[in-house]
Chain A
Amino acid sequence: MKRYSVFAVAREALRNHQGWDRAWAKADPKPRYDAIVVGAGGHGLASAYYLGRNHGITNVAVIEKGWLGGGNTGRNTTIIRSNYLQDPSAAIYEKSRSLYETLSQDLNYNIMFSPRGVMMLAQTQHEVRGYLRTAHANALQGVATEFIGPERVKELVPIIDTNGPRYPVLGALWQPRAGTARHDAVAWGYARACSAMGMDIIQNCEVTGIRREGGKVTGVETTKGAIGCDRLGIVVAGHSSQLADMAGFRLPIESVALQALVSEPIKPCMDVVVMANTVHGYLSQSDKGEMVIGGGTDGFNNYTQRGSWHHIEETVRALVETFPMLSRLKMLRQWGGIVDMTGDRSPIISKTPVEGVFVNCGWGTGGFKAIPGSGWAMAELMAKGASPLAEEFSMFRFREGKFIDESVAAGVAH
């Protein structure tokens, strides 16, 4: 792998950029691998990357039915934070956030992690108490957050209206080291690093079956033929139930559409990420200048990667109310992704009833931020059979009633 740097760019500029390598190699499937990861989203690629980097397992294939990063990884609003309420969540999201801090250097790919700060507004007394609780929990978990008053909110976000007639801002939970990153770059950076370790990233290849013998996985069937493996990681977000079905077990996952939209770009006017859960919307400004807007999920299950219009209206209303200056901006584009929701809105990183099959899913509306930490835990689980970060996220917790309920803390968990 040729390293990226300003010098490399300068050198290539002099020869019209003809000398750049492929970011990742084109790969056709080999007959078998030590481990296969299904799904080249952020979580799948990160799982493969840490299998190699942390555990020396590099005879790995990542199999993707479309183009890598084309699922939710390439559709999200890129909020990265770790101010979660429950201990297991805070542990994995904070691990993830801290890995994000050095990810550009680790991958030698600028993923543009921007620790600009994330603010979650409290607009009811109930929310104030909820965020005070989170702030206390975070203090014990070692996650740096702070509950701030409306004046400080206004100082950090001059365009906000803290005195709206319906839901005045009473304060906010502020995580200064949270932020955003460039979503595509995360997928591409991991893919490039995986490829550099000799792993195969096989795109346009759909897994259609999972082979088992005596309760143990032996490989997968794909649109490019059968491929053998000892260990299989299923990391396919909204399509997890389908893959589980192929392996003969069921997952407590519902797949629903979540939408987002961007405005036309404008000059910088907001430096932090703001989430307003009472009114149900959140906002940040991309480096390109677009106002990036998201809201809640659709109320019914589907696989279309489109959503219902009225959710866009609700979200936009919430934000125009909170940020009146948005009114005269225009919506440039809206889109949707299919998110994988569990009953307690927390993920699953788990062994399964089939030996050798591991599953990583249920990130729902908020898994972009978790990509490095989730990959770290998944790799450890696949390599060693256990991982402290993944421990509590077993799929069997639903059977025991051991929920990790984050909806307690926030209506939307992005």
Chain B
Amino acid sequence: MSTRLAQGGRLIDRQKPLRFTFNGLPMEGYEGDTMAAALLANDRMLVGRSFKYHRPRGIVASGAEEPNALVGLGEGARFEPNQRVTTTELFDGASAISQNHWPSLDFDIGAINARLARFLPAGFYYKMFIHPRPFWKHVYEPFIRQSAGLGRAPKDRDPDRYEQAYGFCDVAVVGGGVAGLAAALAAGRAGKRVWLMEQAAHWGGRAVVDGVTVDGAAAEDWVAAALAELGGMANVRVKARTMAAGLYDHGYLLAYERIADHTPGDGRPRHRLWRIRAGQVIAATGAIERPLAFAGNDVPGVMLASAVRDYAVNWAVSPGDRTVIVTNNDDAYRTALALADAGLVVPAVVDARACVTGALPQAVRDRGIRVLEGRGIAKVKGGKRVTGVAICAQAGEGSVLEEIGCDAVAMSGGWSPVVHLWSHCGGKLAWDEAGAMFRPDPARPPTGADGAAMVVAAGAANGHLQAADCLADAHAAGGGTGAAPTAVTEAEAPLEPVWIMPQGAGPALRAKMWLDYQNDVKVSDVQLAAREGYESVEHTKRYTTLGMATDQGKLSNINGLAVLSEALHQPIPATGTTTFRPPYTPISLAAIAGEAKGELFQPLRRTPMHDWHEAHGAYWEPVGHWRRPYCYQRSGEGIEDAVRREVRNTRNGLGLLDASTLGKIVVKGPDAGRFLDMLYTNMMSTLPVGKCRYGLMCNEQGFLSDDGVVARLSDDTWLCHTTSGGADRIHGWMEDWLQCEWWDWKVYTANLTEQFAQVAVVGPKARAVLEKLGGDIDLSAAALPFMHWAEGTLGGISARVFRISFSGELSYEIAVPAGQGRAFWEQLIAAGEDFGVMPYGTEALHIMRAEKGFIMIGDETDGTVIPQDLGLDWAISKKKADFLGKRGMERTHMTDPNRWKLVGLETPDGSVIPDGAYVPATGVNANGQKNTQGRVTSTYHSPTLDRGIAMALVLNGPDRMGEVLDIPGIDGKVYRAKIVSPVFYDPEGEKQNV
């Protein structure tokens, strides 16, 4: 069984017991425990089930590389699936449940898959479930989905808070082992701005567990001193619980700080996502031990040798009473020593190497522990827990030489440097034959904007597994001058690459050797992939799912590609690795989203009158980041009724529209006129000061992209109104041309959309209400005719008054400083009371413009419509040599006389044609689709005319006045409509020109 030892445990505080539950069972641990350590201390080795076969799964590792031990953590809204217990700090009251089984962890029906394993090899689903066809959707897929997946889906809205922050440094050191500390010390002493981060809550990495001596002191003490020194440096920032998740181009480092995972609900943000601009990244990310592939290496109780050591030293937990060690290298002997130190039994060390002579093995032999040379494990015995191992010759096919009873197996297949950060941005790897590992190739680093290396790997991450080399390497990486820290450890003899055990294992054994524990990928699966031609390492990965589990192959990738290489009879570097992608370990989506949720999801733009609208029944419509009132609902009034009331009131009396969202871009400079002549299809340079002109903008293709009224403010200043949705886009468009193409033109642009509040005062009583406000502007028809503007004060507020109309009524659009927008609006409401004033919203605006036959960008246009289609030929200058879109419009398809053109549609019965309807034509096209001859672009019930009106683009429409069309709706009805002029209301313009 696994238990807590009576003594020891560097990281735990026995004075502080913590209570937690696992599958409802109460358990106890100590402060400083990971949940994995605490589970083991409570003799909980079996913690989950594998993905495919639902095999029993135990804790294998002690850190981020753990593939098996995933639980559902927390309850209610704080429930989180797939939490890795080896990186979960224990806290009081924690509750965990195991995953992927039914009905229970100990008895799982899904485990039937394990019995059927031989029928379910890699990629079996590509070869089965093909017939009968409907079964995939209705039978097979639902079944597969149900048995796949790991944890339960969360249900509720997350109650926690998440933060994002920026960091800047010269050097970001990733990894808090001795290498990271040495590199940070070197860089910090040199005066660099340094960030040092460690994913775990504790520092020192392997050296403190392995009893290394650094600079004559115990590693433990050296680490404490290093941290103290770094803590005292103003230029160094030290962060625990912070994992460097990914490296992006130009030294953009993403780090994930787990602030409050271990103190849930304490009010602090749970995670913080750091985006760090680092001059250089030092990846001192260490190395990960590799499992060995032998039959039954997935039985709970089989663990990494280093993890067994970690549990014993850090947390005083013994994973077993009798632990057999199996290895191909010297390092694993340290585990034997650590266990012996703790008074535990190590029945044997099984070493695949034929001749074992090093100092560490000698020390082990000196304790009276058997060392079996040239031996391997033929098979692990046990189901939900190891009960023993069968020993064989490594060189043979697996005949059993002896059996040894044990309840744990500690395995070591050598080490792989953690090269993720090096690789994220294209750093290349070299195969190190002696160490049997891929390590960063210093000749091919990832490069920054200046072409220089932006990552340096240091220490074990750079392939230096011996503490002394590791420190020297890290010291140099940190730019250290003077002597590097020195370390003393036992010398190690070379490892022998062993990928499967025993060497000559037949198919039956190979089908029981796990490579990927979570996804159930075995040696036989990789060999099958190779046999079937999935030879690229990427094909093998995808075909077998090797390395695709939530640990992303930290334990399985190298072993898998070694097995693949053997199967393909090619050297390992010829096989290569799969791509390392961020994040290094999974990070919460919440942290990625940060504070941007709910009301803060996107910036909400409010006009100065926003709160007034809110208080007066606004039914909101999102328009870009703005909110605009769609209409103002009175109590008991439906939305459609409100819209009708607003239209009628405006046409007959007085309406107010908050038009502040309209884009307002000032264009100024000696070349401003010339610039606007290029931007607009019509001529703007000739517009006299004091006048307004309606203008069209096209993209280079000649398609209409925006429209609006332009006013000339002074000799060299124009004010361009754009659509509400188009303001930022058009401003960007202007700057694009000015900065990239016409950089020598003397023009400035400024987007003043938010600097002005704008109110459209509309209706027969518009002039009267403004006169009532009082001011120094002569608003008479003679002094301020249609399409003119004037400046002055209105109701004591300085204002610019544009006499323009988008409704066909007498109308003034008045711009006032944004800060006075609300006051101005309220003055108008008060002054308008006698005239029956009502505010109106966007829908009334749309209806009135449609009644008048005015186009709306986005309704009548869709990126494929040219001004000529809309009868706007008059707005296209014939005099100008060039403007944006001119050449585009001259292309054959654009000048084709047979195009869909703007008309009005009138339904004899007054009904409203559905939005988006198409007008069919006779026959079908070459692809069997019904031919069409037009489409409805805008359609409304007109309160003014009290019947349906529509605008449409119809093939040669203007030549077909009076023709009747049949328009089918998706509501199943067919609408009859007559082609008429699109101007339904006041065609002569008598109302707007008064």
What is A's interface to B at a CB cutoff of 8 Å? 4-6, 8-10, 13, 16-18, 20-26, 66-67, 69-70, 74, 87-88, 90-91, 95, 101-102, 104-105, 108-110, 112-116, 123-126, 128-137, 139-142, 146-147, 159, 164-167, 182, 184-185, 188-189, 203, 263-269, 278-279, 285, 287-289, 304, 306, 308-309, 312-313, 316-317, 319-321, 324-335, 343, 388-389, 391, 397, 399-403, 405, 407-408
The smallest beta-carbon distance between B665 and chain A, in angstroms, is 22
Q: B932: which of A6, A108, A129, A140 is its contact (CB, 8 Å)?
A: A140
**Are B918 and A136 in contact, with the CB atoms below 8 A?**
yes
Q: Which of B248-256, B410-418, B472-480 contacts A (4 or more CB under 8 A)?
A: B248-256
Q: In the complex, which residues of chain B have a beta carbon less than 8 angstroms from the beta carbon of A289?
A: 145, 148-150
Task: Check B157 for interface membership: any CB of A closer than 8 A.
Answer: yes
**Are B926 and A264 in contact, with the CB atoms below 8 A?**
no
**Are B126 and A328 in contact, with the CB atoms below 8 A?**
no
**Are A166 and B119 in contact, with the CB atoms below 8 A?**
no
Q: In the complex, which residues of chain A have a beta carbon less than 8 angstroms from the beta carbon of B155?
A: 325
Known A20-B528, A313-B594, A320-B589; contact A114-B141, beta-carbon cutoff 8 A:
yes
**Are B916 and A313 in contact, with the CB atoms below 8 A?**
no
The smallest beta-carbon distance between A303 and chain B, in angstroms, is 12
Known A22-B533, A287-B145; contact A264-B590, beta-carbon cutoff 8 A:
no
Q: In the complex, which residues of chain A have a beta carbon less than 8 angstroms from the beta carbon of B146?
A: 267-268
Q: A324: which of B128, B158, B927 is its contact (CB, 8 Å)?
A: B158
Q: B82: which of A91, A264, A389, A397 is its contact (CB, 8 Å)?
A: A264
Q: A321: which of B539, B593, B604 is its contact (CB, 8 Å)?
A: B593
Give CA–CA (A114, B531) in the complex, Å.
29
**Are B141 and A334 in contact, with the CB atoms below 8 A?**
no
Known A115-B137, A266-B81; contact A17-B524, beta-carbon cutoff 8 A:
yes
List 16 additional A-B contacts (Cβ < 8 Å) besides A74-B542, A132-B970.
A5-B130, A9-B124, A91-B925, A130-B916, A132-B916, A264-B151, A264-B550, A265-B149, A266-B150, A309-B254, A324-B156, A324-B597, A325-B155, A328-B590, A332-B550, A388-B926
Give CA–CA (A403, B858) in the complex, Å.
17
The smallest beta-carbon distance between B538 and chain A, in angstroms, is 5
Q: A327: which of B157, B583, B928 is its contact (CB, 8 Å)?
A: B157
Q: Which of B31-39, B228-236, B890-898, B980-988 contacts A (4 or more CB under 8 A)?
A: B890-898
Give CA–CA (A108, B127) in the complex, Å.
8
**Are B590 and A13 in contact, with the CB atoms below 8 A?**
no
Q: Which of B317-335 contact A (CB under 8 A)?
A: none
What is B's interface to A at a CB cutoff of 8 Å? 51, 78-82, 118-119, 121, 124-131, 133, 136-137, 141, 144-146, 148-158, 246, 248-249, 252, 254, 275, 424-426, 507-508, 511, 524, 528, 531-534, 536, 538-539, 542-543, 550, 552, 579, 581-583, 586-590, 592-594, 596-599, 601-602, 604, 621-623, 630, 701-703, 858-859, 862-864, 888-889, 891-894, 914-918, 920, 925-930, 932, 935, 968-970
**Are B533 and A265 in contact, with the CB atoms below 8 A?**
no
The smallest beta-carbon distance between B948 and chain A, in angstroms, is 16
Most chain B C-beta atoms within 10 Å of own C-beta, residue among A67, A105, A136: A136
**Are A70 and B126 in contact, with the CB atoms below 8 A?**
no
Give CA–CA (A263, B630) in the complex, Å.
38
**Are A329 and B589 in contact, with the CB atoms below 8 A?**
yes
**Are A16 and B507 in contact, with the CB atoms below 8 A?**
yes
Give CA–CA (A188, B156) in the complex, Å.
40
Q: A141: which of B249, B539, B888, B930 is its contact (CB, 8 Å)?
A: B930
**Are B125 and A327 in contact, with the CB atoms below 8 A?**
no
List, sorted by A's number, 21 A–B pairs whose CB atoms are closer than 8 Å: A5-B128, A9-B119, A13-B119, A21-B532, A24-B533, A102-B133, A104-B133, A136-B918, A136-B935, A166-B604, A188-B543, A265-B51, A265-B149, A268-B146, A306-B425, A308-B248, A330-B82, A401-B893, A403-B701, A403-B864, A407-B863
Give CA–CA (A312, B254) in the complex, Å.
12
Q: B858: which of A126, A131, A132, A139 is its contact (CB, 8 Å)?
A: A126
Q: In the complex, which residues of chain A have a beta carbon less than 8 angstroms from the beta carbon of B133?
A: 101-102, 104-105
Q: In the complex, which residues of chain A have a beta carbon less than 8 angstroms from the beta carbon of B78?
A: 328
Give CA–CA (A1, B243) in the complex, Å.
49
| Nearest 3 CB-CB pairings of A with B | A289-B149, A133-B916, A330-B586
Q: B153: which of A74, A159, A334, A408 is its contact (CB, 8 Å)?
A: A159
Give CA–CA (A32, B575) in the complex, Å.
30
Q: In the complex, which residues of chain B have a beta carbon less than 8 angstroms from the beta carbon of A140?
A: 918, 920, 929-930, 932, 968
The smallest beta-carbon distance between B99 and chain A, in angstroms, is 9
Q: In the complex, which residues of chain A have a beta carbon less than 8 angstroms from the beta carbon of B858?
A: 126
Known A327-B589, A329-B589; contact A267-B917, beta-carbon cutoff 8 A:
no
Q: A17: which of B121, B581, B621, B935 is its contact (CB, 8 Å)?
A: B121
**Are B916 and A136 in contact, with the CB atoms below 8 A?**
yes
Q: In the complex, which residues of chain B have a beta carbon less than 8 angstroms from the beta carbon of A95?
A: 927
Known A268-B146, A403-B701; contact A331-B137, beta-carbon cutoff 8 A:
no
Q: B586: which of A101, A264, A304, A397 is its contact (CB, 8 Å)?
A: A264
Known A17-B121, A134-B916, A321-B601; contact A329-B927, beta-carbon cutoff 8 A:
no
Q: B128: which of A66, A110, A333 is its contact (CB, 8 Å)?
A: A110
**Are B534 and A23 in contact, with the CB atoms below 8 A?**
yes
| Closest A residue, CB atoms, query B70 | A264
**Are B508 and A16 in contact, with the CB atoms below 8 A?**
yes
Q: In the complex, which residues of chain A have a beta carbon less than 8 angstroms from the beta carbon of B581?
A: 333-335
Q: In the complex, which residues of chain A have a beta carbon less than 8 angstroms from the beta carbon of B145?
A: 268, 285, 287, 289
Known A136-B969, A264-B550, A332-B552; contact A110-B130, beta-carbon cutoff 8 A:
yes
Known A125-B621, A329-B588; contact A166-B862, beta-carbon cutoff 8 A:
no
Q: B152: which of A67, A264, A267, A405 is its contact (CB, 8 Å)?
A: A267
Q: In the complex, which residues of chain B have a beta carbon less than 8 angstroms from the beta carbon of A123?
A: 622
**Are B126 and A109 in contact, with the CB atoms below 8 A?**
yes
Give CA–CA (A146, B970) in the complex, Å.
8
Q: In the complex, which residues of chain A have a beta carbon less than 8 angstroms from the beta carbon of B598?
A: 164-166, 321
Q: In the complex, which residues of chain A have a beta carbon less than 8 angstroms from the beta carbon of B121?
A: 13, 17
**Are B80 and A328 in contact, with the CB atoms below 8 A?**
yes
**Are B154 and A325 in contact, with the CB atoms below 8 A?**
yes
**Are A405 and B158 in contact, with the CB atoms below 8 A?**
no
Q: A105: which of B125, B131, B588, B590 is its contact (CB, 8 Å)?
A: B131
**Are B622 and A20 in contact, with the CB atoms below 8 A?**
no
Q: In the complex, which residues of chain A have a beta carbon less than 8 angstroms from the beta carbon of B918?
A: 136-137, 140
Give CA–CA (A333, B888) in the complex, Å.
43
**Are B136 and A112 in contact, with the CB atoms below 8 A?**
yes
The smallest beta-carbon distance between B654 and chain A, in angstroms, is 26
Known A112-B141, A166-B602, A325-B155; contact A136-B914, beta-carbon cutoff 8 A:
yes
Q: B970: which of A109, A136, A333 is its contact (CB, 8 Å)?
A: A136
The smallest beta-carbon distance between A219 and chain B, in angstroms, is 26
Give CA–CA (A400, B970) in the complex, Å.
33
Most chain A C-beta atoms within 10 Å of own C-beta, residue among B145, B153, B588: B153
| Closest A residue, CB atoms, query B620 | A168
Q: In the complex, which residues of chain A have a beta carbon less than 8 angstroms from the beta carbon of B81?
A: 264, 266, 328-329
**Are B593 and A316 in contact, with the CB atoms below 8 A?**
yes
The smallest beta-carbon distance between A274 and chain B, in angstroms, is 15
| Closest B residue, CB atoms, query A102 | B133
The smallest beta-carbon distance between B246 and chain A, in angstroms, is 7
The smallest beta-carbon distance between B432 and chain A, in angstroms, is 25
The smallest beta-carbon distance between B793 and chain A, in angstroms, is 37
| Closest A residue, CB atoms, query B859 | A129
| Closest A residue, CB atoms, query B534 | A23
Give CA–CA (A147, B969) in the complex, Å.
12
Give CA–CA (A128, B719) in the complex, Å.
32
**Are A317 and B136 in contact, with the CB atoms below 8 A?**
no
The smallest beta-carbon distance between A363 and chain B, in angstroms, is 18
**Are B916 and A67 in contact, with the CB atoms below 8 A?**
no
| Closest A residue, CB atoms, query B938 | A129
Q: In the complex, which residues of chain B have a beta carbon less than 8 angstroms from the beta carbon of A67?
A: 536, 538-539
The smallest beta-carbon distance between B905 and chain A, in angstroms, is 14
The smallest beta-carbon distance between A92 and chain B, in angstroms, is 8
Give CA–CA (A10, B116) in the complex, Å.
10
The smallest beta-carbon distance between A62 and chain B, in angstroms, is 14
| Closest B residue, CB atoms, query A324 | B157
